[in-house]
């Protein structure tokens, strides 16, 4: 029992979801008779729920995938694991499957009323009552700590990621940037900055209660119109940021124009109709400060030229509407 307690202490010392995941898999791997442990990630592709291994045991060590979920060839439809699919649909705490010499236990990880991942434990023998109790105890500590980490990363009003998590998420996406792709419009990563037009007037006229409701409803539209592998942040006030993963420029434009039109057409309680302005830039070249600055420049151009528009930084640069700013290493993002 002492080694397990030591592992739990180490596990709860992490402040990063991936490191915490690796730590809990390492803890479970030491429990005996375990053939393999994996952390499976759920994502949606072409309206089909998929899953893929995000971290797993290999030669007694835990390794993690460097691929984005949306492009990982290891992704398979959830329907290929009917026991797990039924567990998720009926919101059960666990599911099991036994075959000759292999016994698998699935433990879905629920955050914000949604199963976003699953721990998979495969043993050479069926779990005893005692083993199951130990595994469930370790898992519940892990899930509770995941929830605490998730809460610290979220904006209290909208439930979106908050600004302090942006740098970590952006760095992780930048670290997975693909090699130069061929073609006129290859899939890339994009950063979009979104600002509600005349939001101060909404607060002044209708009060902050209705202003907060507008922010919540805009956040809900962002969730519904972007994919699970994209990342959405509230930067504070009426500003939002979206990291779009592995889409072409045409697809990025289409997604952002769809958002702009959806907000324009939506009727907000008491307030009526509002609009948003959007600026976006590619992320494959430059530091986070530079890339965010480019998207901000495009946003300000949209707001200064009529609002309710989507502007792409490179378009403005090539047309002469903007000029590239000189980057300085000493600039820091606050």
**Residues noted as catalytic:** 238
Q: Spell out the residues 6+ positions from residue 166 whose beta carbon is closer than 8 angstroms to its own.
A: 233, 235, 241
b/e burial code for range 78-105 (CB count within 10 A of at least 16 → b)? beebeebbebbeeeeebbeeeeeeebbb
Secondary structure (3-state) at 252: helix
Using the 8-state DSSP alphabet, how is residue 63 labeled?
E
Q: Please check whether residue 262 is in contact with residue 295, taking contact to mean a CB–CB distance below 8 angstroms.
A: no
Q: Using alpha carbons only, how large is the chain's radius of gyration in Å?
A: 23
Burial of 133 (0-12, 13-18, 19+ CB in 10 A): exposed
Nearest Cα neighbor of 78 from 116, 28, 133 is 116
* Among candidate residues 253, 235, 229, 248, the one with its CA nearest the CA of residue 173: 229
- Show the beta-strand stretches assigned E in the chain: 34-45, 48-58, 61-64, 76-77, 95-99, 102-111, 114-123, 188-196, 231-236, 239-247, 276-282, 310-312
Measured distance CA(73)–CA(79) in Å, rounded: 17
């Amino acid at each position: 029992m002492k080694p397990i307690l030591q592992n739990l202490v180490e596990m709860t010392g992490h402040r990063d979801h991936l490191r915490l995941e690796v730590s809990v898999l390492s803890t479970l791997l030491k429990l005996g008779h375990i053939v393999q442990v994996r952390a499976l990630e759920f994502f949606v592709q072409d309206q089909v729920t998929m899953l893929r291994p995000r971290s797993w045991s290999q030669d007694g060590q835990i390794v993690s995938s460097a691929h984005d979920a949306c492009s990982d060839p290891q992704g398979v439809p959830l329907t290929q694991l009917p026991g797990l699919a039924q567990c998720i649909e009926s919101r059960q705490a666990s599911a099991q499957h036994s075959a000759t010499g292999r016994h698998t236990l699935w433990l879905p990880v629920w955050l914000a009323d949604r199963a976003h991942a699953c721990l998979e434990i495969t043993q050479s023998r069926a779990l005893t009552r005692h083993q199951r109790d130990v595994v469930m105890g370790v898992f519940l500590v892990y899930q509770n700590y995941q929830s605490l980490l998730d809460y610290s990363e979220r904006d209290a009003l909208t439930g979106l990621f908050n600004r302090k998590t942006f740098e970590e998420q952006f760095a992780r996406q930048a670290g997975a940037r693909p090699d130069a792709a061929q073609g006129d419009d290859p899939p890339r990563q994009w950063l979009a900055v979104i600002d509600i037009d005349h939001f101060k007037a909404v607060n002044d006229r209708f009060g902050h209660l209705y202003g907060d409701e507008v922010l919540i409803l805009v956040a809900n539209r962002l969730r519904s119109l972007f994919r699970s592998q994209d990342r959405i942040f509230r930067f504070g006030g009426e500003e939002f940021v979206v990291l779009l993963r592995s889409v072409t420029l045409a697809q990025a434009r289409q997604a952002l124009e769809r958002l702009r039109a959806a907000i324009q057409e939506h009727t907000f309680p008491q307030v009526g109709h509002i609009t948003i302005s959007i600026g976006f830039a590619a992320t494959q070249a430059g530091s986070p400060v530079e890339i965010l600055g480019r998207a901000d420049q495009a946003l300000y151009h949209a707001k200064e030229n009529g609002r309710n528009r989507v502007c792409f930084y490179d378009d403005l640069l090539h047309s002469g509407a903007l000029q590239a700013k000189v980057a300085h290493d000493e600039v820091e993002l606050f």
